[in-house]
Structure 1
Amino acid sequence: MTRNFIQPTRRNVLQGGAALGALGLAGMPAFAQTGKRGGTVRVALAEGSTQDSLNPWTYTDIYMMSVGFATHSTLTEIDPSGELVGDAAESWEGSNGAQTWTFKLRPEVTFSDGRKLTADDVIGSLKFHAGEESGSGMRTTADLITGYRKDGDETVIFDLDGPNADFPFLMADYHFILMPVEDGQVNWQDFIGTGGYTMESHKAGVRTQLKRRDDYWKPNRAWFDEIEILYVPDVSARQNGLQTGEVDIMSRVDLKTVGLLERVPSVRVEEATGFLHYTFPMNTGLNPYDNNELRLALKHGIDREEMVKTILNGRGIVGNDHPIAPSVPYHNTELAQRTYDPDKAKFHLKNAGLDSIDLTCAAADAAYSGALDATVLYREHLSPAGINLTVDRKPNDGYWSDVWMQEPFCACYWGGRPTCDWMFSSAYASGADWNDTYWEHERFNELLLEARGELNADLRGEMYGEMQQIVSDEGGVVVWAFANYVYAMTDKVAHGPVASNWEMDGGRWTERWWLA
């Protein structure tokens, strides 16, 4: 049977090192966009916490992602068209069947203290996330690297534990910011980076102040003179601040009142469709969530259409209990869409040996705007199936440290990833630090390794399609929607084409936007 999977636009079939090398040589940055330099911008973000740390191990949301991208570089970045381009790396080349990757660094890249970025800094920055002692959310990804070599100060060579055609994409992750190595140790504490801004002050859960570097090595990036980032968890406060001019940009518009905001003459509401998805993860290592029949009952017991209409105000599409968005290469278009069916939910509950059950789901709007309302609506959907859900309202502050991956059932969001391997490796692989369902599946993990090294696109698509089916049918997560990123700004703010791999221009708004 011929399967209909969306295929990658960046490549069809990669056969060996020569083709892989061509991919890297095309990865040059688009610095031609001309903005306007100057001014101070104030930004109100919904995400953040008093427990935020400068250590990139701990970054979880747009707040520290914005700070990290403002002050540091990564080897690669994803541009507004979804293509991979170079950031601190000017090119990259795969060899040995995509098991070895060589990155050439730009000679002009310097840290904010004047030092030149070297291969030793890159190696130290990646090693920092690896190993059993690491507390990084990207530890399992860093552990793919089994060997680090350099050829002079401007060439870094990574040997992997197996073929990985997507490895250069992983180097764009916001955790993998490049930091200086001093006396053999990475210095993250002083926040010295190669980005366009320096940190003037930082108070976790309150504000961060940034100042532009006069010696920034990118000629047409980092337009603002100064940036003030504010943690404002209350959506009404963010929107009021935008309307009164107290702030210039806000994240996460209230979708229930977005129409009112759109009518404000000085305000521009924008949205982008990317990989963002909203979920209810459950700990599959704990009773009763270790029973897949119960998990299926929870998946059939949610009215996704009503959730999208009510919670997202129609600004998104229904999910199907796996994390691969329709825009991601190898999305499985043949997977039957799960629909609301209380009778089927009741059937699976009975298969679990239960006539009814009482469950608790923790939630706060820190998870995403409307998360509490979504959980309350989910409770109503589950009731006809005999599933009695109690909504445990949690504080916004500390949600990602005290609730997510701590409570057995909760509301959650994922920014998503631009490749199947990246998404699955981050949150579904056995032993992944951010496997928030604590899920283990032997066949899934076998396919993950096989697909990672498969250079034939058709075979790779077959594998990723099966993995989506496994997660949807046996995984421990309800993925109810892929949502649009919706944010707003005053007419003082301008920008070029916007990336959608993360909210607010892939998290790189600090470098790409300017004051008109």
Structure 2
Amino acid sequence: MTYKPTNWSGRDDAMVETMIRRGASRRDLLKMLMASGIGMAAGGSLLLRADQAVAATPVYGGHLKAAGWSSSTADTLDPAKASMSTDYVRCCAFYNRLTILDEQGVVQMELADSLKTDDAKTWEIKLKSGVSFHDGKTLSAEDVVYSLKRHLDPSVGSKANAMAAQMTEISKLDDLTVKIVLAGANADLPTILAMHHFMIIADGTTDFSKANGTGAFICETFEPGVRSIAVKNPNYFKDKAPYLDSFEFFAIADTNARVNALLSGDIQVGASLNPRSVRFMDGKPGVQTSITRSGSYTDLNIRLDMEPGAKTGFVEGMKYLVNREAIQKSILRGMAEIGNDQPVSASDRYHNPNLKPRAYDPDQARHHFEKAGLLGVEIPLVASTAANSSVDMATIIQQMGAQIGMKFTVDQVPPDGYWSNYWLKSPVHFGNINPRPTPDILFSLLYASDAPWNESHYKSEKFDKMMLEARGSLDEEKRTSIYWEMQEMVANEAGTIIPAYISNVDGLSDKVGGMRPNPLGALMGFTFAEHIWLNA
């Protein structure tokens, strides 16, 4: 056989890509390439490039089934009342926000064309022109004013009321311009408006049995606690998106059942898998994972206003006793980054990289427990499956304590009622915090003296003043410096121990393309339906 060299060009690569999309097998393609004079190694390399190109090239069409992990008969299409993952997924599909966060956590415009301010207190928002709601109505300033003002109405019951309360004036300047005046300067307003609750609805909307939004999909079916079916919006204002013709979304609460549905092909996306499930999927054909570094975490909370947390030395001893590496490797199976006892994770641009985690040191822990007079005293650790991995974490702490003479009991309580009966109330207990887009939201929610979720009852006038100073500053260097110091204060003074920032893992069929991480968490910050596609 005479060898005839062939110079394969980008055009030939495209031909192979087309054949793959048409269903040609790898074996047939290799035969064709070798018949054309391409060796086995070169042919394999070309096929690898073509496979990668096919996977990265959007494909239009198809119906996708996706399963989240939470659902109830209280599921809603009202973005102001959204509280579960299923709510967020649907709202992101049917509506849009004024701004969105990209994969780096940077604010980008969505329905807004621009946001301008000179003092971080008075803001002018210019809207995109020519955007239509599903019923044909054209987006205008009235829709934005109505949407934002709803959060201030107590009868609405908005989950974002506390954040919206800073908006003392929301008014129309012209058909495409809105003015917002805040009670105090807040440079984070563009980021706040990117949160899921601040979706824009049509002026005067009171019926949420179907979602009349501007989003990439139109609601065809909505059965609270059961499922929703969405079909492509043919008049969507963004170029190219969405790629899917339709998608169905529902919840499968049990993680193992979610994984089995994915492996069997009943669903193409299974959200938020735990480390054990990911290990089970390893090596299984037809599935892949999408891993997002996010700011979610399970923390150990020690109330500083109650014993044993009120005893000098106890919190310090616990920080030395918690073996962060064991938690990261054994419990979270490496799908986490070691934490340093403050809530701003490494995925946040304001994260302080110089603040090192407390090293595991049982001798130091014993010293501090003796100082507190608690060595040998029985102390309950309240945990529940409601707080992810908390039971396993409590068990490790119990074992480490036993080695130095500390007596911890693991009080595992039922998930039903955990958040209302134990969280924030028990002297030593676990919490579970989802990602938030700014340090200000995290600090004001969890660590300010009047924070509604002040898990350890940490109080510091200095901290409160610094929080307000950073919030109102447009100087990024100054804000960063303040946030770094605040992270140090929380890590060293508060009674919360954050051993790891947990990565979010979504399970996917290998036919799904386009899934990328997002700082707002699972399923591309719940916007996945607009961005992914199905390969043939």
TM-score by length of 1: 0.83
The one of 169, 172, 176 equivalent to 1:154 is 176
Matches within 5 A, 1:160-175: 160-175=182-197
Aligned residues, how many?
478
Question: Are the aligned partners of 2:259 and 2:277 in contact in 1 as well (CA < 8 Å)?
Answer: no
The one of 288, 300, 306 equivalent to 2:320 is 300
The one of 274, 284, 288 equivalent to 2:294 is 274
Matches within 5 A, 1:481-492: 481-492=500-511
Query: Aligned-pair RMSD on alpha carbons?
Result: 2.9
Question: Are the aligned partners of 2:143 and 2:201 in contact in 1 as well (CA < 8 Å)?
Answer: yes
Change over 3 Å in CA distance of 1:292–1:418 after alignment to 2: farther
Partner of 2:124: 102
Partner of 2:264: 244
Matches within 5 A, 1:363-442: 363-364=384-385, 366-368=386-388, 370-383=389-402, 384=404, 386-395=406-415, 404-405=423-424, 409-442=428-461
Unaligned runs of 5+ in 2: 1-55
In structure 1, C-alpha distance between the alignment counterparts of 2:428 and 2:138, rounded to whole Å: 47
SS at match of 1:446: helix
In structure 1, C-alpha distance between the alignment counterparts of 2:427 and 2:208, rounded to whole Å: 33
SS at match of 1:459: helix
Partner of 2:245: 225
Please report how far the alpha carbon of residue 250 of structure 1 lies from its aligned counterpart in structure 2 after TM superposition.
0.9
Q: Does 1:129 align with 2:142?
A: no
Task: Return the letter of the residue paired with 2:330.
Answer: T
Partner of 1:19: none
In structure 2, C-alpha distance between the alignment counterparts of 1:431 and 1:57, rounded to whole Å: 23
Greater shift in the superposed pair: 500-509 or 327-336: 327-336
Partner of 1:330: 350
Partner of 1:40: 63
Partner of 2:140: 118
Change over 3 Å in CA distance of 1:41–1:81 after alignment to 2: same
Question: Are the aligned partners of 2:113 and 2:128 in contact in 1 as well (CA < 8 Å)?
Answer: yes
Question: Are the aligned partners of 2:456 and 2:496 in contact in 1 as well (CA < 8 Å)?
Answer: yes
Change over 3 Å in CA distance of 1:291–1:67 after alignment to 2: farther
Partner of 2:100: 77
Partner of 2:254: 234
Question: Are the aligned partners of 1:209 and 1:229 in contact in 2 as well (CA < 8 Å)?
Answer: yes
- Larger CA Rg, structure 1 vs 2: 2
Q: Does 1:469 align with 2:458?
A: no
Question: Are the aligned partners of 1:140 and 1:425 in contact in 2 as well (CA < 8 Å)?
Answer: no
The one of 512, 518, 525 equivalent to 1:493 is 512
Q: Does 1:455 align with 2:474?
A: yes
Over the matched positions of the two proteins, sequence identity in percent amounts to 31
**Which structure shows the bigger proportion of residues in helix conformation?**
2
Task: Return the letter of the residue paired with 2:95.
Answer: H
Partner of 2:23: none
Task: Return the letter of the residue paired with 2:485.
Answer: E
Change over 3 Å in CA distance of 1:181–1:221 after alignment to 2: same
Greater shift in the superposed pair: 443-452 or 186-195: 186-195
Change over 3 Å in CA distance of 1:443–1:340 after alignment to 2: same
Task: Return the letter of the residue paired with 1:304.
Answer: R
In structure 1, C-alpha distance between the alignment counterparts of 2:261 and 2:310, rounded to whole Å: 45
Greater shift in the superposed pair: 166-175 or 201-210: 201-210
Question: Are the aligned partners of 2:322 and 2:360 in contact in 1 as well (CA < 8 Å)?
Answer: yes
Partner of 1:361: 382
Partner of 2:112: 89
In structure 2, C-alpha distance between the alignment counterparts of 1:126 and 1:99, rounded to whole Å: 16
Greater shift in the superposed pair: 146-155 or 57-66: 57-66
Change over 3 Å in CA distance of 1:65–1:481 after alignment to 2: same
Deviations 1:110-144 (A, max 9, x none): 32232233323222322333477775443332122
In structure 1, C-alpha distance between the alignment counterparts of 2:207 and 2:298, rounded to whole Å: 35
Change over 3 Å in CA distance of 1:145–1:256 after alignment to 2: same
The one of 357, 360, 379 equivalent to 1:340 is 360
In structure 1, C-alpha distance between the alignment counterparts of 2:417 and 2:64, rounded to whole Å: 27
Question: Are the aligned partners of 2:312 and 2:371 in contact in 1 as well (CA < 8 Å)?
Answer: no
Partner of 1:18: none
Greater shift in the superposed pair: 252-261 or 278-287: 278-287
Question: Are the aligned partners of 2:287 and 2:508 in contact in 1 as well (CA < 8 Å)?
Answer: yes
The one of 448, 451, 464 equivalent to 1:445 is 464
Task: Return the letter of the residue paired with 1:65.
Answer: Y
Please report how far the alpha carbon of residue 145 of structure 1 lies from its aligned counterpart in structure 2 after TM superposition.
1.7
SS at match of 2:170: strand
Please report how far the alpha carbon of residue 37 of structure 1 lies from its aligned counterpart in structure 2 after TM superposition.
3.0
Deviations 1:224-258 (A, max 9, x none): 22222221122211111111101101122332352
TM-score by length of 2: 0.80
The one of 263, 282, 288 equivalent to 1:262 is 282
Question: Higher RCO, 1 or 2 (CA under 8 Å, sep at least 6)?
Answer: 1
Partner of 1:17: none
In structure 1, C-alpha distance between the alignment counterparts of 2:58 and 2:298, rounded to whole Å: 34
In structure 2, C-alpha distance between the alignment counterparts of 1:291 and 1:54, rounded to whole Å: 47
Q: Does 1:62 align with 2:82?
A: no
Question: Are the aligned partners of 1:330 and 1:420 in contact in 2 as well (CA < 8 Å)?
Answer: yes
